[in-house]
Structure 1
Amino acid sequence: MADFSLGPKARAAGYRLAGFDEIGSTNSEALAAVAAGDPGGIWFAALKQTAGRGRRGRAWESPSGNLAASLLIVPDAEPSILATLGFVAGVAMQNAFARVLPNGAVRIGIDGADTLDGSGRVALKWPNDVLADGAKVAGILLEMGKTPQGRNAIVIGIGVNVIAAPSGLPYPATSLLDLGYEHKAEDVFEALAEAWVDAFSLWSDGSGIKQVLAQWRASAAGIGSPVAVAQDGVVRRGIFETIDASGRLVMRDDDGARIVITAGDVHFGATASARS
């Protein structure tokens, strides 16, 4: 039986929780809740998803024992500002792992996916992944909804590979168990919900996005390394320079041209350097 709970910081901030052993999709549950009039500030957490999804409608495997969690909120911000909540979630997830994993537990990322100064253990991969040892250990999916009154709502979905990682992916993936650490999904969730309170407070309805992005960059994977970004069948290659003030990826191609990327699939290191 699932035993999800909120920590003292999340409870004090007024968050609520609905926990499940198994569910189709925590994001779908959250979207249904806002359509039914839920005011937001509620987490939906499950040990197993049977119909989970990732970016661009891709399936997201979540066997029993992994964590699927979605937060429904109705903040006072425009859709363009709400989109930056993915960076808030990344910062919260990185801080949650810092609480869950012992210091030094995860090696520096491989294949160019470490931080610029080489100090990274858990790294944030643009736009919405979390890496450990250079492999994906968690993913983030934002979906918009509307309240019955027409207000913008957003669901922040987070999947964490606690006991198992999906196979057959075009990129490396890992789990906390693969890394040698046995944790319950419930413990990871409580750490995440606590870390979210601080990151969301820093965001402050979008007025603190500069500070959030600064924290995100400090744990970013691949800055200063070769990067390849695939967009609708076209691959752009260059050096990953930074994330700009709007959260877009900035790269410099071989001719020295500055390219700003709004969306795409990112690959680092040897994969990025390969020529098709």
Structure 2
Amino acid sequence: MAFSLGPRATSAGYRLAAFDHIGSTNAEAMARARAGERGPIWFVTSEQTAGRGRRHRPWIAPRGNLASSVLEVIEVPPAVAATLGFAAGLALEAALQRVSVEASLRSAGSDHMKYSLKWPNDVLAGRQKLAGILLEAEAVADNGLAVVVGIGTNVVAAPEGTPTPATSLAALGVHIGAEDLFGALSDTWAEFRGIWDLGRGFGEIRRLWLERAAGLGQRVAIHTGGSTVEGTFDSIDDSGCLVVRTSGGRRVPISAGDVYFGSAASAGTT
């Protein structure tokens, strides 16, 4: 089965570049932007050999997993562009829900998986990482900002030894192909990208994201650089920072870091 855009994505003017295998869909997307590509265009493969996640951690997609990146050149400040990652999380969660329901119906099952969003860029199934999102941006000609949103999903296999234990759709009993998931994702991306609306709709994106947030109201520890902030996951603010309420009642905004909940937070996991 070949990769193809969903009908909503096609109507919205998205294009598609699909690869049998590639080093990194994010790197390819940004290279095209530097060469003059303005998008909107998806880059997608089911085998990625040199991808990376946050903090330059490797993100390898063995054949059968989904590595996808969408490129758009927009005119917004980088801080506003950064909030697009929350729309990406919502889009992926919605696509996963759709394909999980369809897979459950095909197998005559009555239940399907529930997914949650972990700040800032992961999708979880239970307490296990199923997917990650990496947003990169670079200034281009004519005051544009090339924004690449990379979305990697464990469809058939999950890496071992990761900071957060990982799983795959196949391990969860959701038997679908990367191509099926991508078709759904391209449509849900068009939907939530439209709600985001160059940052003007982030208030609604924030509300929807918090409804699906992992660990909201729970004990949390955020490791950032050489320091740790501990408290309760209170919210995310208007710029997308995670807000921690400390034991002393202070509300501390965190712009970046590794997040641990519950017993992992209490143990000071690193």
Helix, strand or coil at the partner of 2:61: coil
Residue in structure 2 matched with residue 116 of structure 1 by the alignment: none
Q: Deviations over 1:63-118 (max 9, x none)?
A: 11000000000123111110101001011011111111127422xxxxxxxxxxxx
* Kept after mapping to 2: 8 A contact 1:230/1:266: yes
Matches within 5 A, 1:1-276: 3-102=2-101, 104-106=111-113, 121-275=114-268
* Kept after mapping to 2: 8 A contact 1:55/1:141: yes
Residue in structure 2 matched with residue 110 of structure 1 by the alignment: none
Deviates more, 1:252-261 or 1:30-39: 252-261
**Which residue identity is paired with 1:204?**
D
* Kept after mapping to 2: 8 A contact 1:230/1:264: yes
**Which residue identity is paired with 1:9?**
R
**Which residue identity is paired with 2:256?**
A
* Kept after mapping to 2: 8 A contact 1:35/1:146: no
Segments of structure 1 that go 5 or more residues without pairing to the other structure are 107-120
Q: Deviations over 1:128-155 (max 9, x none)?
A: 0000121100000011123344521100
- What TM-score does the superposition give when structure 1 sets the normalisation length? 0.92
* Kept after mapping to 2: 8 A contact 1:135/1:174: yes
Helix, strand or coil at the partner of 1:146: strand
Helix, strand or coil at the partner of 1:10: helix
- Provide the identity percentage: 51
**Which residue identity is paired with 1:137?**
L
Helix, strand or coil at the partner of 2:50: coil
**Which residue identity is paired with 1:77?**
V
Q: CA RMSD in A?
A: 1.3
* Structure 1: 4+ residue segments shifted above 6 A: none
Between structures 1 and 2, the one with greater strand share: 2
Helix, strand or coil at the partner of 2:238: coil
Q: Distance in 1 between matches of 2:182 and 2:134?
A: 16
**Which residue identity is paired with 1:76?**
E
Q: Distance in 1 between matches of 2:268 and 2:162?
A: 21
